[in-house]
Structure 1
Amino acid sequence: MAIKNILSLVVLVSILGVSVAIPYPSLDLNYYRSKCPDAEGIVRNVTLEHVGPQKSLAAALLRMYFHDCFVRGCDASLLLKSPNNDAERDAIPNLSVRGYEVVDAAKKKLEEECPGIVSCADVLALVARDAVLLIGGPWWSVPLGRRDGRISRKDEANLPSPFADIATLKKNFTDKGLSVKDLVVLSGAHTIGISTCGLVNLRIYNFTANGGPDPAMNPSYVGELKQRCKPNDFTTTVDMDPGSVAKFDTDYFKAVSQKKGLFISDSALLNDLQTSLYITTQLALGGRLSTFNQDFAESMVRLGNLDVLTGNNGEIRATCASVN
């Protein structure tokens, strides 16, 4: 079966399960209908070509989208390169971001079909959605019409930290106009993907004054991590959702409830009434995905509307790594 037909079938099945369209005045679900009618189809096919054989890219592309939207809004500023290495992608939290080639490939195809029409910001929004779909996540309708930013500054990449406590995380999200529910729901994206020992060694070695691990972690989990991460190892990879890293599901919330959250920011979700209640609710649902999928889809649409550029603001880049 052709790639396009395979993905069309996946999309149809997903729409029957979860389809979310949250209207925003500045964006339009049908923005490219007359300007580039096959825009979404082109992006889907390119995403499948890359993510199909390399499923780990789904988590990477979802992370890329989050990192872009949280700084200067969803304007593809993360994609810009700088000869002086002072753009967003050069900031420490973004050095491990990967998947740029997927966005670039989709943009190249779109420029061949509809030159100067589809923004890199919209391409990234669609790629993130389609990548999640390809690993069993929900479908959501993506409002379109974003334009690309011309500014990308390394010192502005103030992203939520994996070492943050719950008060800091709540402020990070509310400052962006996102809710506490969005915080816990989007944290659920850690059901897929990997990190490195460098971000967890602090928690398992010498966290306390007497050299012990973080008491907020399950001792058996600490033991498992120590088997993989030696004290001076900063590069070995570790799963963010132990035992379920390649599947978009609710096991992340089970892991957090068992004190097996990889990051301090994961464990911190147990320290707030609203976020901990959401986790408890997911556990009570017995792993059924319908509620979480619906919530995740809605939060992703809200994320995608952060400080978007529309109308005469910004530009439509010819290539995503540089301004026109």
Structure 2
Amino acid sequence: MAKIFIDGDSGTTGLEIREKLADAKNLELVSIAPELRKEVSAKRDILARVDVAILCLPDAAAKETVALADELGEAGPRILDASTAHRVAPGWTYGFPELARGQAEAIRKARRVANPGCYATGAIALLRPLVDAGLIAAQDALTINAVSGYSGGGKQMIEAYEKGEAPAFELYGLTLEHKHLPEIAVYSRLAAPPLFVPSVGNFRQGMLVSIPLRLDALAARPRAVDLEAALARHYAGATYVRVVPAPKSGRLDPLALNGTDDLEIFVFAREESRHALLVARLDNLGKGASGAAVQNLALMLSEA
């Protein structure tokens, strides 16, 4: 029976992971007493006796826990980090199994896995297959627009919305330096970070990530049908990611996949104007966070 320690299980992602794993018969969830959470020796003792530690912590705290695990050497646990701290760090495997051929196997064997960000999951799911297929060039100028439920915005944002003190909709991250940009650029194989405009709506969870394309402005000048075909080929046989025909209504509900670990991809197009819109829909707390973590954990444990 594998022993799993969720470090930071009082936050949104940690609570969701614990709930998803609660009924697993082949796992033992190990906890640390609340009063001992900041005691280094207590945490080191737990790390020494578990198989996998899942980190649901701020970046600085995640780095501290990893350092403790590293001190234990081979006696230390494998790490699945849900923070931003290690997503592009050397020696870490990116936890998006559908990224490319062989990625799931790399996760299966890895000792250090970085869980993707929610926005990054949607953006990379749209872009990486098209870059690999030569339909989008690494140098193409790209813009990403996205809307998320407020549960992805951290403690202060969650409190503001749940107290009724936040607006119905708002743009944020307008410094244009969002924390997901490095992983989007690296794992989409882009030469430079895209222009990313995130927003939040007055709903708890759900997400749409959209990338508008002027097809004639792309180096490859692809047709929209080529984009959809390449995406469909890439995700053929995938359990959680699928390409779905664009609804004729021209509308998408960001809440439609809530409570699932699925990700849907749509290609909207108007060939007459040579415009296309790529859209990824997911639950930011599902495939965008806890669902992805549980998927990665299953891969890591299947190697044993």
TM-score w.r.t. the length of structure 2 is: 0.25
Query: RCO (CA 8 Å, sep 6+): is it higher in 1 or 2?
Result: 1
Q: Which structure has the highest strand share of the two? A: 2
Q: Which structure has the highest helix share of the two? A: 1
